[in-house]
Structure 1
Amino acid sequence: MAEFTPGLVTLFGGSGFIGSQAVRTLAKRGWRVRIAVRNPTLAIEVQPLGDVGQIQFMHCDIGRDEDVARAVRGADAVVNLVGVLAEGGKRSFQAVHVEGSRRIAEAARAAGVERLVQISAIGADANSPSGYGRSKAEAEAAVRAVYPDAVILRPSIVFGAGDSFLNRFAHMAAYGPGLPLIGGGKTRFQPVYVGDVAEAVARAVSLQEAGGRTFELGGPAVYAFEDLMKLVLRETNRSKPLIGLPFGAAKMLATLMKPLGLLGVEPPITGDQVLMLQRDNVVASGAEGLAALGIEPTGLEAIAPSYLWRFRRGGQFAEAPIYAGGAGETA
């Protein structure tokens, strides 16, 4: 496979969960990495992931044309990792996903950037019932209008140390009365390891033949939401009940929690997330995925115990659970 010569890559949102892993992977490939973030002081822990001088930070508000133009100046490649799962204040889906992505694409084109990688999501669909899904689709269209050869990556839910999915429910298992089965727990997911997503980012940046293609990133197995909740209970050695929560009741609960967002506190669930849960989150039949990028997907059971142990009853060295098998179906 033909690869671009490593140069300078700008990562918008490069200090986040996926971004920090992508920084490490790109640095190992020899790229110089510029991380454009709203608060560079919060991204200092990423700096040791490369050699001295290989990783730099700069303040950037993707809502400001001049900030974005400065961030892409001199870059050979740009990766847009910025996204929000819940709206709050000025950080609406439209402002962050659509307008921010369009602004980054236009600035990168004006600066002569050769490769643009857009991180989207499985579920990006102009006809999605959720604002998140619609905005992700609109962002893809806005980017492709400027960069027909942009690479779009659509991960399913991403797991790994520091994730906001398994960790959230493991915390609930440890301290709450039980775990919710929203919509009966039948929604299907194809969790993908953050390290595999980071490798996909690096290959999307580096491989010339990746241009203009969309890759849906999922792990080796598909799980129902109920399967994932049972996995969390096993890994935390908890015997909490699984509480059925119909979609209608979940939407009512989200409405009651909405004022938390106005106070700057991210609510446990939003009405838009309930809408997202009404659709499966798996790689579409016939879609290009990790295999098309030459990546062997990492299984959930191989990684989850390495960080969910901190919620385990009895602590890290408590007897680990034995898998009974059948938790997920091979994709």
Structure 2
Amino acid sequence: MNVLVAGGTGFVGRNLVAELDDRGHDVTVLARNPDEADLPEGVATAMGDVTARASIVDAFDGQDVVVNLVALSPLFEPPRGLSHTSVHLGGTQNVVSAAEERGVDKIIQMSALGADPAAPTEYLRAKGRAESVVKESDLRWTIYRPSVVFGDGGEFLSFTKKLSPPYLAPLPGGGKTRFQPIWVGDIAPMLADGVEPERDGATYEIGGPDVFTLADVARLVRRANGQSVTVVPVPMALAGAGLKIAGVIPGFPMGADQYRSLQLDNVTRDNDVESFGVTPQNMKSLEEYLGVERRTPDGK
């Protein structure tokens, strides 16, 4: 099968491209700078920006499936000149339009848990509106809504380290926001399965084997570095004011939209991993990845 992976040079994209290539698909990576990526031998590349439709449309010629992974991080403020709306919604509109014009049969859309046009963050609103674009298209489709993804080259753990320095970590709301982190090596095969017709019309909520609070993750990443950390709760109202001010400082990890996201749990309602023949027991846990012992009952 001919598969075009938009955003194939990113963290999830590189792992998915390798999985698709291993399965014998003919893979083309579409990215702004595809030649900078370390891709399997034989994987083709095409240069283009999903926010500029004319730059991508030719890459859709002869493709059977397009996987849309292009995204801005929900953890950091968008780079100047970009927004979640322009990339997640506008980019998806361009991908769908190009696919329809060039006769592509199917789109696999990477969305997010909590995606909803009425969500409280721009990131989730744009993701929700993008899902509607996909569902209303003439294409067959499969949508994935993962929790945060971790692994080599991922940003979730490095973000947590930046937000929670060793020994004393002032976390908004005491770091009570819940996540269900999934290892990239577990999600990539599930995404690759999406090319199959039996996955058409399905929306999958995907998470890892365990639920952690942000404070849990902060303790784990510091323990993995041989450090301890005490979480100091910062009231959400004070955190919001502080983050909005600190967001203008270069290098500060969060802005107003990210502050609002810390008031939203990022966990599945019903984890759909078993739809792919996977059970939580045979998935890689965050503790295993970090090389630390599993949590005690109080999470410390």
Same fold (TM over 0.5): yes
- How many residues are matched? 293
* Distance in 2 of aligned mates of 1:295 and 1:322: 23
**Does 1:20 find its partner at 2:14?**
yes
Is contact 2:174–2:231 with CA below 8 Å preserved after alignment?
no
Matches of 2:126 and 2:238, distance apart in 1: 25
Is the counterpart of residue 325 in structure 1 residue 296 in structure 2? yes
Q: How far does residue 19 in structure 1 lie from its aligned partner after superposition? A: 0.5
Deviations 1:215-245 (A, max 9, x none): 0110111112222122122211112332222
The answer to whether the 8 A contact 1:227-1:327 is kept is no
Does the aligned pair in 1 maintain the 2:107–2:139 contact within 8 Å? no
> 2:111 touches 2:143 (CA, 8 Å); kept in 1?
yes
Counterpart Cα distance in 2 of 1:269 and 1:177:
21
The residue that corresponds to 1:4 in the other structure is none
Partner of 2:191: 201
Aligned residue number for residue 178 of structure 2: 188
Match of 2:141 among 143, 150, 153: 150
- State yes or no: 1:230 paired with 2:219: yes
Partner of 2:232: 243
Unmatched runs of 5 consecutive residues or more in structure 1: 1-6, 306-320
Distance 1:95 1:239 in 2: 41
The amino acid of 2:54's aligned partner reads: E
Give the corresponding residue for 1:114. Answer: 105
What does residue 292 of structure 1 align with?
275
Partner residue of 1:80?
Answer: 68
TM-aligned CA deviation for residue 202 of structure 1: 0.3
Any residues of structure 2 matched to 1:209-220 within 5 Å, and which?
209-220=198-209
* Equivalent position amino acid for 2:136 in 1: A
Aligned match of 1:36: 30
Alpha-carbon distance in structure 2 between the residues aligned to 1:239 and 1:268: 21
Deviation at 1:160? 0.9
- Aligned partner of 1:275 among 233, 252, 260: 260
| Partners of 1:170 and 1:236 within 8 A in 2 | no
Aligned sequence identity (%):
34
Q: Is the 8 A contact 1:72 1:111 kept in 2?
A: yes
1:145-197 Cα distance to aligned partner (Å, 9 max, x none): 11463100011011111221112333566x65633322122211111111122
Conserved? CA contact 1:126–1:134, under 8 Å? yes
Answer whether contact 1:254 1:270 (CA < 8 A) is retained: yes
Provide the secondary structure at the position in 1 that maps to 2:8.
Answer: coil
Map of 2:168 onto structure 1: 178
Work out the CA distance in 1 between the residues paired with 2:239 and 2:8. 33
Residues 327 and 290 from structure 1, CA distance in 2 versus in 1: closer, same or farther, beyond 3 angstroms?
farther
TM-score (norm 1): 0.82
**Cα distance in 2 between the residues matched to 1:171 and 1:269:** 10
CA apart distance, 1:266: 5.6
Amino acid in structure 2 at the alignment position of 1:304: L
Please report how far the alpha carbon of residue 322 of structure 1 lies from its aligned counterpart in structure 2 after TM superposition: 4.1
| 1:149–1:213 contact (8 Å) kept in structure 2 | no
| Cα distance in 2 between the residues matched to 1:322 and 1:221 | 14
Q: What value does the CA root-mean-square deviation take over the aligned residues? A: 2.0
List per-residue Cα deviations over 1:90-148 (Å, max 9, x = no partner).
21111100011011011112212122100000021222111111111001111111146
Unaligned runs of 5+ in 2: none
**Deviation (angstroms), 1:66:** 1.9
Q: Residues 68 and 327 of structure 1: is their aligned pair in 2 closer, same or farther, counting only changes over 3 Å?
A: farther
Residue matched to 2:125: 134
SS at match of 2:254: coil
